[in-house]
Amino acid sequence: MRKFLGTLLALCLILGMVAVPALAEGTTLTLALIGDGQQKSTLDSLLTKFTDETGIKVETLYINSGWGEYCTKLQTMIAGGDQLDVAIMASEGIQMFVRMGIPAPIDDYIAANPDTAKAIQDDVSDDLEKAFIFDGKTYSFPFSFNNVFMHFNMDRLKEAGVEVPKGNWTKDDLLAMCQKLTTEKDGVKQYAIAVPYNEYFCMEGWLYNNGASYLNDDYTKATINSPESVEMFQLWQDLIYKYGYAPIPEVNVNAIQQLIDGQVAMGSWGRWPTTSYINSNFKDVSIQYLPNFKKNELIYGVDGFFVMKTSKHQDEAKKLVGWLSSPEFEGGYLGDGNVPVLQSLAAQKCEALGIPQNYQLFYNGEVPMKQVNAPVSFSEVSSIVLRAMSEICVNKADVQSTLDAAADEINQALAG
């Protein structure tokens, strides 16, 4: 009977016989997002359009934290009986979310809305779609993503007579650039590069280009202490202490601001620094792939909206997920720090912004992509990785023994 009513309502909508689906009448959904709520007014305005179209109201809940803490808080809320219908989740928590049975698949929505689903899926890369498929079931559409490139302060490069390197530049090229870009101005040392300190995502971007990663492919064993990984952590330490090309990282010092101010000439991030570039009116900036140490492999992290299995409004929640994945919402909500997954929209938004130079790489890369390592125990693993990085780059600890100890800790976390 319910299926018949749903079909009848869909037919009526097509014929213009009703404005609002009866099943959605009076329904209010709760949508959980990560962040401090600075975009709430924009979000509420966009969601009003969804309510006007469907009759479904949406209340928003912002959780201001990193992804690891966000995952933990969502688990606690759901276990405590809080009513959540839809929540955004990124690569860092997707596997944990799905393996714990928290979200519901959306295959039935895709089957019932083939045109809507096809319009999204045809405009998204296969790599990003695969991040949401487990055991043959689809749990979300991709929404936005980020990757990691080297960012260059072009004024610093011009002063040193250095050009942005080609896409296949090497470790030797990096060190040669660093030598030229490490100078002193008005009695103050200007460094060549900021190492990717306290950046789990960016750090692994470097590792991937050296044939290394924190974990093996099925997330069952730590590989952070492999020779290829040790080599990269040693390079970061050497850039600081052996060569003097990078400043000692500090928790309260913003490396992006250092790039803007010219204190460092380059640093590795995704698209998120563009917001700071705009706020500082910093336009002389360009990007390039990370150095090709042993291979070229572009790391990525992606997010999407998930329907909670405990939601009492499954049909309405899935309708919301489909709408949140549309060009209308994606284009209206995403700021300058994310890359829209819809390639046509990414090209439009990045071109309109115009910075950094070489911005096409954000959405039109020519190297293979690989998702960031994000096991079920991501919160624990990421903490262990960042602590090891701090020991190596701040306390100048021995690299091999520090990473051996980190690997033991990670293996315990994976086994738990």
pLDDT tens digits, residue range 46-83? 999 999 999 999 999 999 987 778 888 888 898 898 98
**pLDDT for the residue numbered 340:** 95
Rounded Cα distance between 393 and 188, Å, is: 22
Mean pLDDT over 14-36 rounds to 67
Annotated domain spans of the chain: 2-143+301-351, 149-300+353-415
pLDDT band for position 25 (cuts 50, 70, 90): low
Over 90: is that where the pLDDT of 97 sits? Answer: no
% of the chain with per-residue pLDDT over 70: 94
Domain 149-300+353-415 has CATH 3.40.720.10: no
pLDDT(103) > 90: yes
330-339 average pLDDT score: 92
* Average predicted confidence (pLDDT) for the chain: 91
Residue 146: what are its φ and ψ, rounded to 5°? -145, 160
Is residue 291's pLDDT more than 80?
yes
| 142-147 and 339-340 beta bridge pairing | antiparallel
**Would you state the pLDDT for residue 272?**
96
Q: How many CB atoms lie within 10 A of CB 221?
A: 13
CA distance linking residue 201 with residue 373, whole number of Å? 9
Paired tokens of 373: 């390592």
Indicate if the pLDDT at residue 365 is higher than 80: no
CATH architecture of 2-143+301-351: 3-Layer(aba) Sandwich (3.40)
231-275 pLDDT tens trace: 999 999 999 999 999 999 998 899 999 999 999 999 999 999 999
- pLDDT band (50, 70, 90) for residue 19: very low
Q: What is the pLDDT of residue 15?
A: 34
Are the beta carbons of 413 and 224 closer than 8 angstroms? no
DSSP E strand stretches across 98-174: 103-104, 133-134, 137-138, 142-147, 149-153
> What pLDDT does residue 14 have?
33
> 193-226: per-residue pLDDT in tens?
999 999 999 999 999 999 999 999 999 999 999 9
Contacts 24+ apart (CB under 8 A), 203-208: 203/385, 203/389, 204/299, 204/372, 204/373, 205/147, 205/148, 205/268, 205/290, 205/298, 205/299, 206/148, 206/232, 206/236, 206/268, 206/290, 206/293, 207/232, 208/295, 208/297, 208/298, 208/299, 208/370
The pLDDT of 155-174, averaged and rounded, is: 97
